[in-house]
Amino acid sequence: MKLSSISIIFFFATLQALSVLQVNSQSTDSCNSNLNLDLPFDTSLLNCLPVWSRHDFILRYVRNLSNVWNFVLSAPDTNSFVAMGFSTTGQMVGSSAVVGWVSADGSGTVKQYFLGGQRPNLVVADQGNLTIVENSTSITSRSSRVYLAFQLNTSQPLSRVLYSVGQIGVIPSAPAFALAEHRDKVSTLLNYRTGTSASDSQHSRLRKSHGILNMLSWGILMIIGAMAGRYFKQWDPMWFYSHAAIQSCAFLLGLAGIISGFVLEDRLDAEVDTHKALGILILVLGCLQVMAVFARPGKESKVRKYWNWYHHNGGRIVILIAIANVFYGIHLGEDNGTSWNAAYAVVISMLFLLSIILEVKLWRQK
């Protein structure tokens, strides 16, 4: 009797375990799975990669003809919305997202949202910067998963891609289709060329190193070195050695910062053409300043005054462009951007105030 009871318990436990395994297998998707979906575009040549392991998000994409990109996002069906956003900074604010959900009656809805701020009234439906191909959006629930599909008309989608999932049982409804706060989100970096995706935080150390090196070198030390060369000439020749040492240190650190920027751009596959162009211009002007030192004529030479004019004004141009590019880089990085902006603004303000005091003192001496 006891053996029979144990057998019955074991039998039902086995059935329960098998049912759980069956549900899990039905809700599992992988890049080896075939997409048997009725979509308005071909899905046979899609690149596939897991993009958010925590919520089992799988992304498939491919570039079609005429700069049209096909996307299919797969996620577990938890009776909530799923979203895929595109951002220039990696932050949700300012991004545009494709959001989809399946209602209780089985009907699917896909809309574009513009995330203008953190307040609900700033998340606006049917607005955004994405050019979605007409009649290309769909969301389908199948085998306990949802498949969000859409096409974008663009030469190159943004590489900073955001994913989010809504609260369970909470989906937008007509007429406003207000989007409730997400249950979870992640910011990633998608390299469309290599088909790899990584969490944005994985490159945060390199990004911070790039920013700190360039801020310290081109944006701070270069200014201090210029001040030493202009305001401390009464301590000859120490002013010259101090000026040369500080500027040399700034140039080497700045060179390292720019190299790290090239590495960062390659890893992120980011579109930072303006920031990159300004950085290259700063490096070129800095190299010209270094080369000018080796061509410096003697004090008695007739061309010395022209050399001085070139060296002084060239240095000022480098500093002005560097300051602007540092602020622009902080804007692109965005992580704790307000605090970094404030800190650098305080340093620049202090150096500017000090230079005014020293300039007044210099004019009085003259």
312 assigned ligand-binding residue = no
182 assigned ligand-binding residue = no
Quick check: 130 and 152 in contact, CB under 8 A?
Answer: yes
Measured distance CA(158)–CA(332) in Å, rounded: 13
Quick check: 279 and 222 in contact, CB under 8 A?
Answer: no
What is the 3-state secondary structure of the chain? Answer: CHHHHHHHHHHHHHHHHHHHHHHHHHCCCCCCCCCCCCCCCCCCCCEEEEEEHHHCEEEEEEECHHHEEEEEEEEECCCCCEEEEEECCCCCCCCEEEEEEECCCCCEEEEEEEECCCCHHHEEECCCCCCECCCCCEEEEECCEEEEEEEEECCCCCCEEEEEEECCCCCCCCCCCCCCCEEEEEEEEEECCCCEEEEHHHHHHHHHHHHHHHHHHHHHHHHHHHHHHHHCCCCCCHHHHHHHHHHHHHHHHHHHHHHHHHHHHHHHCCCCHHHHHHHHHHHHHHHHHHHHHHCCCCCCCCCHHHHHHHHHHHHHHHHHHHHHHHHHHHHHHCCCHHHHHHHHHHHHHHHHHHHHHHHHHHHHHC
Within 10 angstroms of residue 21's Cβ, the number of other Cβ atoms is 10
Measured distance CA(54)–CA(51) in Å, rounded: 9
55 assigned ligand-binding residue = no
- Residues annotated within a binding site: 210, 243, 275, 311
- Residues annotated within a binding site for heme b: 210, 243, 275, 311
